[in-house]
Amino acid sequence: MTLRITAFTLFPKMFDALLDEGVFSRGIKNQILSFDTVNPRDFATDHRKTVDGRPCGGGDGMVLLPSVCEQALDSVVTEASKVIHVSPGGKVFDNHWARRLAEETRHLVFLCGRYAGFDERFVTKRAHVELSLGDFVLSGGEPAALCMMDAIARFVPGVLGNATSPQVDSFEDGLLEAPQYTLPVEFQGQKVPDVLFSGNHAEIARYRRREQIRRTALQRPDLLHKLWEQLSRAEQKWVEHLWRSF
């Protein structure tokens, strides 16, 4: 079945790159994914096509009108749709969210706010979940939605050329991915680790596991703390030594 993704946006051209290049574009060409946009400005009824108003109680920015947004959303959603409010105040989007959204529904709608955002009454009534890329603010929801869409698409069967690729990416087992190498064997004085040419698959697997733990310990210790009890005692001691040396 095709996964349909809809962007609710005042700036639909921001999604052109998604359609022209990369795995998402290939998924559309292969009819595994479909993409469309809905622009609330098309549902404004006055001659100026007004979509926003001043915030109640004062403050900077303009708030998107709930009446216009409601009509725009009604034009694309069904009972099977899942509506996602893209917002810095949402739960942090990660690989688990990407997999879950790819597997649980056949139509995702991304609400991409602008200015001071949506009227809270509209979001409360219509959004199923609020998701964020992290603790920072963008000029609008579109860039964050693009990232989420790309991550979700990778978990749709048939989108990637190699079906096992998502299973070995960073975060799938809670760790960062091990470093990758290709030829030549030596580049600017740096060599590919000998073990990768050994032909010993068990040794290669152990090396990559160790490199995953090392990279995660040094770059994302927060992830390793979550997995601490899943590490062997030898791995825990090695990590503790890394942290003392770092």
Q: Could you tell me if 97 and 193 lie in one domain?
A: no
In-domain check, residue 171? no
Q: Could you tell me if 15 and 113 lie in one domain?
A: yes
- pLDDT value, residue 18: 83
In-domain check, residue 89? yes
In-domain check, residue 135? yes
Residue that has been written with the tokens 């503790």 in this structure: 240
Q: State which of 153, 177, 198 marks the end of a domain.
A: 153
Give the separation between CA 91 and CA 131, rounded to whole angstroms. Answer: 5
Q: Could you tell me if 117 and 7 lie in one domain?
A: yes
- Residue among 172, 29, 35 at smallest CA distance from 98: 172
- Residue among 98, 205, 107 at smallest CA distance from 160: 98
Q: Could you tell me if 33 and 129 lie in one domain?
A: yes
Counted domains in the chain: 2
In-domain check, residue 179? no
Q: Could you tell me if 27 and 104 lie in one domain?
A: yes
- pLDDT value, residue 21: 81
Q: Could you tell me if 107 and 13 lie in one domain?
A: yes
Give the separation between CA 142 and CA 176, rounded to whole angstroms. Answer: 27
Q: Could you tell me if 127 and 33 lie in one domain?
A: yes
Q: State which of 153, 177, 202 marks the end of a domain.
A: 153
10-residue averages of pLDDT along the chain (246 residues): 94 90 88 96 92 90 94 96 96 95 95 93 97 93 96 92 54 85 94 96 95 94 93 95 90
In-domain check, residue 181? no
- pLDDT value, residue 170: 53
Give the separation between CA 199 and CA 184, rounded to whole angstroms. Answer: 17
Determine the structural domain holding residue 200 and report its residue range: 186-245
Q: Could you tell me if 113 and 211 lie in one domain?
A: no
In-domain check, residue 173? no
Enclosing H/E stretch for 85: strand 82-92
In-domain check, residue 166? no
Q: Report yes or no: 1 and 145 within 8 Å, Cβ to Cβ.
A: no
Indicate the pTM of the whole model. 0.85
Q: Could you tell me if 239 and 117 lie in one domain?
A: no
Give every CB contact of residue 178 below 8 A, 6+ residues apart in sequence: 207, 208, 209, 211, 212, 215
- pLDDT value, residue 22: 84
In-domain check, residue 177? no
Q: Could you tell me if 64 and 112 lie in one domain?
A: yes
Q: State which of 111, 133, 153 marks the end of a domain.
A: 153
- pLDDT value, residue 127: 97
Q: Domain containing 104 — which CATH number?
A: 3.40.1280.10
